[in-house]
Amino acid sequence: MNDEEEIKKSWEEIAKTEKEQSDKDAFILDKVAKGLLSEGEFCDLEILITESDDTSYYSIENEPNGEYQEDYDYRFLKGYWVNQTTNGGYTGDEYAGTISVKLSNGKYFQFHYSM
């Protein structure tokens, strides 16, 4: 196999892995939408996800990760937990970490973000 074929195969593997993760994220988000948050809370969550730029690795956890943040910009979500692992980065404007939102079943919807 030549270099060009190896590069193509690597990109195909990356695309497959990203598609699998995207499908898992969509499944978990659908589960949250179907009864683990009120309609208003879910709308606020969709806005939070959109504002968090690049999000992935959605999961439902037993405990939140990070510090509780009150946020009155949302109508129904009054707060969430943030674990910011990158605060500025090399360029001074890179941020990344996880956000956890409490669900009606006592568990937490969590996702990774980077912006």
| 58-75 residues labelled b (16+ CB within 10 A) or e (exposed) | beeeeebebeeeeeeebe
Instruction: Write out pLDDT tens, residues 63-98.
Output: 999 999 998 888 998 899 999 887 766 666 678 899
Contact in structure between 101 and 65 (CB atoms under 8 Å): no
Asked whether the predicted pLDDT for residue 41 surpasses 70, the reply is: yes
Q: What is the pTM of this model?
A: 0.84
> Residue 1: pLDDT band by 50, 70, 90 thresholds?
confident
Domain boundaries, the chain: 3-114
Between CA 53 and CA 56 the distance in angstroms is 10
User: How many angstroms separate the CA atoms of 11 and 38, rounded?
Assistant: 40
Please give the share of the chain, as a percent, with pLDDT higher than 70: 94
